[in-house]
Every structure is written in structure tokens, then in C-alpha cells.
Structure 1
């Protein structure tokens, strides 16, 4: 058994799994909204309050980890970008005894790609695969033939938290903010999408909190059901409908929507806007969603290495 933690821009996630050859069996999965990346787009550093929330979240999640099993801690966009990241890394090692692996955008993409493709292998989907991983601070879009082989793609500083802070000033979202949001998303995504289209993707998979939340909302799930998220076909038509409707609601109203994850009410519109634009630029009418992402990808590479 092995535990892996991911310190993302918006949340800290824990996966404890039984790991064997060709098999990753989830045992414990937990998430805490900590938003360590709050205001990093403006300040360039990890905020004191964001660090405090993250330390608190890690303390809570530690209680779920069985004693005496290996623990790996990953960090992505916000920690990667923070000018004071080493102070944070040192703090976590001192507080918990854990060494943080700060992932590059490429490594994050490799892990997410592996986790996504492996998680849907039973569906016998057609390659090449394009995996979209929308996070709080960055988005990775890569295309490959299988879980081990990337053809190309990239990582851009385009995430749900980052776009919220740049463009959305009120909830409900006003027309001016929506237009500015969509304009910047297209400007950033268009070159990245074009580079992926050159490889002729046949199956598109979306992972990350934005994608899984939207899949839950699309199905009106009152309780998060892993089996109904993995392999779910989310249509562009349904996604656009959700995006428009969520933008018309205030935060309290969004919190009442079936499938809405607590703590994601303010960033879900920005995240949905990114996924809508990605699908439009890829010229696809539907995609698959999955919970298989960098946590699963990390464990898969661990299995490979024995």
C-alpha cells in the first residue's frame, strides 16, 4: 500500500491505494480545499493564509494515512510558480517529515496522461488520446498513443483560480467579465490546441476537479459516485448549457446545485469556460471524463519501476 498527496493550486488531495503489478486499487480518497495559489497571479508568491490553510489540510489528511506506509507528496502549478516555494517546501518537511516533489509542467502532464489513459483502458478507446487537465493555476493538454508515450502538447498558465482572479468580479457573472474571460482563454489555448490537432487525436479525456465536478453536475449526482464519473461522456451541448446556467447564479445558488463540490462554487464558471473553449477548438462534440490523473499516474510509474 502507498499514499500520494497532491498540493494543487485550489486543493490538496490524498490517494491511498493498494499497488500491485498492473493494478492500482483505491483504498482511501480525500480532498480539502486549501487554495494555496490564492493571489499568486498578482503577487508571485504563496500567501501566508494559503500556506496556513494547506498545512491545516495536510494535517487533516495525514490522519487518514495508515501507519508505516510510504508517502509521496507532489506539488504543481502554484508551488512551482511561487517565489517563496523553497520556504514552503522546507516548512512541510519540518512539520511532517515529507519531502515535496515539485513537478514541472511536462512531468505533471506525463503523470496526468498516464493516469487518464490507464483508467479507461477497459473501454477499448481509440488512440491517439488527448488528455486535458484543467487545474487551479495551469492547464495541460497532451496527445499520445498510450500511457507511456507522449507525442506532444504543452502546459499553460491557464487555470480556474487564475482566471477567476483575473476576470470575474461578481457572481452572477456579468457580460463584460464573461467576454474578457473567454477572449483570454482562446488566446492562450489556441496555439496549444493546434499543436495537439497535428497528431490527429481520436479520443479526448478530461481530468481534474473542473472536469469531474462538471460531470457530476451534468448527471445531477447528489453523492459523488466514482463509477459514474470514470468514462462518462460529456457533450459540448450539455457543457455549454451548464456553463451558461452557472454564470447566472450567485455563490449560494450554485452551492445548491446537485454535483457541486463545496468550495468550488466561485471557480467553476472559469473552469467550465476553459473546458468549453478547449472542446470548441478541438472541434469535438463530446469527451470522456475520469478521476484517473496525476495521482494515479504517479503510482503507475512507481509500479513500472518495481
Structure 2
């Protein structure tokens, strides 16, 4: 099976085999291929309400490579889910037509609620035993952040998607390089108000464990661990404290994009927006009263794959 997650900042592919039934309900998928490209599909959407032609073309080029990989590995089922940017854009039909021509299947522009549920499914399978329930799972994307509360056995109890993400907050508030104190304060105020609304909609403050998903979280956790390079095995299920997240966020927001590029774990396509992503994570931890966060490399992409089972 092949799963594709097309978000505001990146497009990702997972080709995997399902575990054998005898392996049990928490057995992992067998990865055949995981790929990620930064395409910035949501470039300017918060301002213009439209997908930029150059962003659609970047996405098409990445998708063409994925189509070749899917065919080579012989995946029998393909599901592509498109999220925040393609929900918000007035010219989303152009994007959907491009996907049909390139991939051979239509993208599903999932609702925020479905995005949250897929993220939760991908994240909670295989969590370590010391990750106490219930969980607050937060998926910090480029255009939106999903907040999901639930348990491993009972599933999702409540979910909400909010329009805060690393690309959207950077474009809206953090124009400076590095951003000014006034810009950071405006971003923090905006994020705090939205997070408070999210936590009024889902009982996140009652959760025992915060699980963080997507590139902003995994990059912050990698920096907090002072890794010499991006290492998914060391990042997956690593737990870092609020104090570590706050220090990394402060350091990132004080650096220029060029200086962030010198950080060993930094993906070049994330350097200009990682400060906003880190700030979203820090504010969530503050407003939810969480002393630590567990990072997961498994997220909506894995949830899409499991949905094909």
C-alpha cells in the first residue's frame, strides 16, 4: 500500500506492507519506502487565498517521483490526503486536476477532523509503555495544528483543527530575519488565543502525555538532543522537557535563517519557518500545563496507510 500526505509545507510518501495478523494489534507496518520533499504548497495562501502556480509545479515534480516509486514497489492501493493549504485555496480544483494527471488517483481533501483522527491513529500505535493515557496528540503542520485527545484502546475522544502552523505564523507575524521582539510577541499572542480555544474544545489539560508530531516537533527534539545529524531512530519516542523546548525556541527565534541552516539536523526547507513551529509547540505546552513532550516520527502518513488495511 502507498500513502501520501500533502501538507502546507511538505509532501511525504510511505510505501509499506501490513503486519501479519499473528503479530498482534500493535505490530508496526513494514516500511518499504519513506520519502519527504519540502514543496511549500501553502506559499502565500494565508494572504492570497490561492495556491501559487510555482507551488503547484513544485508539488507536481515531487509527486511524479513518488508515482515512479509506487509503481516500482508494486503498491496495490494508493491513498493521497491533502490538508490545510488545499482546503483553504480558491483554486483547489487546479491542484486536484494536477494530482489526477500525475498520480492517477484523485487526492482527498480531508477535513480538519479527519486529519486529526488519522494523525492520532498513526501516532499512538507502538507508543512506549511509560507513555501514560490519555494522550494529547498535536500535529503541528505548515498551515494548521491538530489537537486530538484519546486512548490507545478507546480511540479518539475529541479532536479539533486550528489555523496555526509554522508557515502561516511565519508569513503572518515573523517577517524579520531574525524576527523582532515585537513580532515574536504578536505571534505568541495569536498562537496563545488559538491554543486556548482548542483546549476549550478538547480536554487536553486532562491528558497525561503530550505526543508531538511532524517536522517542527521532531526538529526541535533533535536540536534538544544535540544530535550530529537528523536520526529518526533517536528522535522517535524521545521525551524532552518544557525547559529544553523553551531554550531551543528562544535560540531559534534569535537566529537568522542562514544561521539556522548551520544546525546539523536542520532541513534546508524548514530553516525559515522552524522558529514559528517551535513557538507553537512551546505555547501548547504552556497552555496545556505539560512538563514534557514525546516526539513521534509516525503520524498522519502512517494513519493514512493504516486506513487502507
| TM-score where L is the length of structure 2 | 0.93
Identify which of 60, 66, 69 aligns with 1:61: 66
Alignment of 1:27-176 (within 5 A): 27-65=32-70, 66-69=72-75, 70-120=77-127, 122-146=128-152, 149-176=155-182
Gaps of 5+ in 2: none
State the alpha-carbon separation in 2 of the partners of residues 173 and 17 from structure 1.
Answer: 41
Q: Evaluate the alpha carbon distance shift between residue 179 and residue 205 of structure 1 in structure 2; reply closer, same or farther with a 3 A threshold.
A: same
State the alpha-carbon separation in 2 of the partners of residues 300 and 90 from structure 1.
Answer: 26
Residue 195 of structure 1 is matched in structure 2 by: 201
* Pairs aligned (count): 301
Identify which of 215, 227, 237 aligns with 2:233: 227
1:300 is aligned to 2:299: no
Structure 1 residue 124: deviation in Å? 4.7
Q: Evaluate the alpha carbon distance shift between residue 167 and residue 72 of structure 1 in structure 2; reply closer, same or farther with a 3 A threshold.
A: same
Structure 1 residue 51: deviation in Å? 0.4
1:5 is aligned to 2:22: no
Structure 1 residue 199: deviation in Å? 7.0
State the alpha-carbon separation in 2 of the partners of residues 215 and 125 from structure 1.
Answer: 17
Does the aligned pair in 1 maintain the 2:149–2:204 contact within 8 Å?
no
1:288 is aligned to 2:294: yes
1:25 is aligned to 2:30: yes
Structure 1 residue 5: deviation in Å? 1.1
Does the aligned pair in 2 maintain the 1:207–1:289 contact within 8 Å?
yes
Does the aligned pair in 2 maintain the 1:216–1:260 contact within 8 Å?
no
Listed one character per residue, the Cα deviations across residues 241-300 of structure 1 (whole Å, up to 9, x for unaligned) are 111111111111100112112210010000011000000001111010001111111222
RMSD (CA atoms): 1.6
| TM-score where L is the length of structure 1 | 0.94
Moved more, 154-163 or 66-75: 66-75
Identify which of 260, 267, 284 aligns with 1:254: 260
Moved over 4 A (4+): none
Does the aligned pair in 2 maintain the 1:92–1:98 contact within 8 Å?
yes
SS in 1 for 2:263: coil
Does the aligned pair in 1 maintain the 2:135–2:149 contact within 8 Å?
yes
SS in 2 for 1:287: strand
1:182 is aligned to 2:181: no
SS in 2 for 1:143: strand
Q: Evaluate the alpha carbon distance shift between residue 281 and residue 254 of structure 1 in structure 2; reply closer, same or farther with a 3 A threshold.
A: same
Structure 1 residue 71: deviation in Å? 2.2
